[in-house]
Amino acid sequence: MIDVKDFINYLKENNINFFCGVPDSQLSSFCDYIEENENNVIATNEGNAVAIASGYHLTTNNFPIVYLQNSGLGNIVNPVTSLTHQKVYSIPIIYVIGWRGQPGIHDEPQHKKQGEITLDLLELLDISYIIINKDSTFDYLKNTFKNEFLDKLNAGESVAVVVSKGAFEEYNIPKSNANTLTREKAIQIVSDYLTPNDMIVSTTGKSSRELFEYREAKSQGHGNDFLTVGSMGHSSSIALGIAINNPSKKIFCFDGDGAVLMHMGALALIGSKSPKNFHHVMFNNSAHESVGGLPTIMVDINIKELVTSCGYEKVFNARNLEELNEVLPKFIESKGPVFLNIDVDISSRTNLGRPTTTPIENKNDFMKKLKGE
């Protein structure tokens, strides 16, 4: 294993000291260290991070670091091929990539395909890479930079460190906020207010896992819920596609603040299309809790002004259990699109399980329910 402090100090010795990206659980030690000690910008999505890093390079002529989960490779393909590539502006970037779904290592279904093609994508993008794992040493990483990567970077090429599970020694910083209501409890309360005819699209991460477990505990089945296990930031667009094609049903999007920020243009499109049956719930802990708990920028945003300017009819807020029970009936009965922001704690159960049904089974059950079967 590699001590992240040794890695960061080596980078700084080579004047590499700007970090930007989207947190990942596989990179939690790396992300926690730079958040506490270095010049770090947590971006709204990975493509956004590449653009910020490009601006940094244009200003300083230094090499930026962009960190991401390998699922975020999809978000960087356009800026890599049309901005930073050697055939365009030749902007060198160091990528630190968490390798989820690595072949031979058990992971969740949403990571399987991305894990299989991660190295192929890097090769197609002309990004040289090394893989580090729990057996890798700091000397191996340092020598790769010294003997190969620094020359490539100076030539305008980008490089990547692909990080397997357990490659970095543990480093953690405390995370908390002032909210008292847990997301899991809020999900349970909102779900209990809905009718058997109402449909839910839940966002990537622990929100979907908590919803699944609550349905299991109540023996309700899962046909009312589409669990967006991957594709972070797109749950509201999935819900929009469902809402405009199923006007007789109320469609609820269970979203997170990090996911809303990742593809915020969806808010404007939802407001523009103005589906009367669209109900958007954001469980807001101002953190990327599912991948380590580092902060989002939602705390700096006036949510009501943002959402109403995008065309939503009403915005509701709840900061605790009493307020949630007070606003929920008004929110549910309002004509959409409407938005409910629920401030929740940064916490989840350590024994939180994962869906026991497959994504295909979830899809089929959801489609049958939409058809009234």
String of DSSP letters for 217-248: HTT--STTEEE--SSTT-HHHHHHHHHHH-TT
Structure-derived torsion over alpha carbons of residues 288, 84, 92, 29, reported in degrees to the nearest 10: 10
Q: How far, rounded to the nearest angstrom, does the alpha carbon of residue 151 sit from its chain's CA centroid? A: 33
Asked whether the whole model's pTM tops 0.85, one would answer yes
Identical fold at 4-163 and 183-370?
yes
pLDDT digits (tens, 9 = 90+) for 326-337: 999 999 999 999
How confident is the model at residue 373, as a pLDDT? 67
| Side-by-side strand order, sheet with 18-21 | 39-42, 18-21, 65-69, 94-98, 159-163, 128-132
Q: Which of 281, 208, 201, 274 is nearest to 238 (CA)?
A: 201
Q: How far, rounded to the nearest angstrom, does the alpha carbon of residue 337 sit from its chain's CA centroid? A: 23
CB atoms within 10 A of CB 224: 22
How confident is the model at residue 150, as a pLDDT? 97
Instruction: Sort strands 338-343 and 314-318 into parallel, antiparallel or unpaired.
Output: parallel
How confident is the model at residue 85, as a pLDDT? 98
Note down pLDDT in tens along the chain; length 373 residues: 999 999 999 999 999 999 999 999 999 999 999 999 999 999 999 999 999 999 999 999 999 999 999 999 999 999 999 999 999 999 999 999 999 999 999 888 899 999 999 999 999 999 999 999 999 999 999 999 999 999 999 999 999 999 999 999 999 998 889 999 999 999 999 999 999 999 999 999 899 999 999 999 999 989 999 999 989 999 999 999 999 999 999 999 999 999 999 999 999 999 999 999 999 999 999 999 888 889 999 999 999 999 999 999 999 999 999 999 999 999 999 999 999 999 999 988 889 989 999 999 999 999 999 988 6
Please list, residue by residue across 171-186, b when 16 or more beta carbons sit within 10 angstroms of its beta carbon and e when fewer do.
beeebebebebbbbbb
Distance between terminal CA atoms of the chain?
A: 53
Where do runs of H (alpha helix) occur along the chain?
4-13, 28-37, 46-60, 73-79, 109-124, 138-144, 150-154, 183-193, 206-217, 235-245, 257-262, 265-273, 303-309, 321-333, 359-370
CB atoms within 10 A of CB 142: 16
Query: Diameter of the chain by CA atoms?
Result: 64
CB of 91 closer than 8 Å to CB of 135:
no
CB of 23 closer than 8 Å to CB of 287:
no
The domain at 4-163 falls in which architecture? 3-Layer(aba) Sandwich (3.40)
CB of 204 closer than 8 Å to CB of 259:
yes
How confident is the model at residue 148, as a pLDDT? 97
CATH of range 183-370; options 3.65.10.10, 3.40.50.1100, 3.30.70.1140, 3.40.50.970: 3.40.50.970
pLDDT digits (tens, 9 = 90+) for 270-288: 999 999 999 999 999 999 9
- Alpha-carbon separation of residue 107 from 110, 116, 329 (angstroms): 8, 12, 39
Q: What is the DSSP letter of 331?
A: H
Domain edges within the chain: 4-163, 183-370
- Alpha-carbon separation of residue 125 from 49, 158, 315 (angstroms): 17, 9, 42
CB of 20 closer than 8 Å to CB of 49:
yes
What's the CA gap between 216 and 300, in Å, rounded? 36
Q: Is 62 left (phi over 0), alpha (psi -120 to 50) or beta?
A: beta
| For the chain, the helix, strand and coil percentages under 3-state DSSP, each to the nearest 5 | 45, 15, 35
What's the CA gap between 302 and 57, in Å, rounded? 31
What's the CA gap between 167 and 98, in Å, rounded? 10
CB of 277 closer than 8 Å to CB of 250:
yes
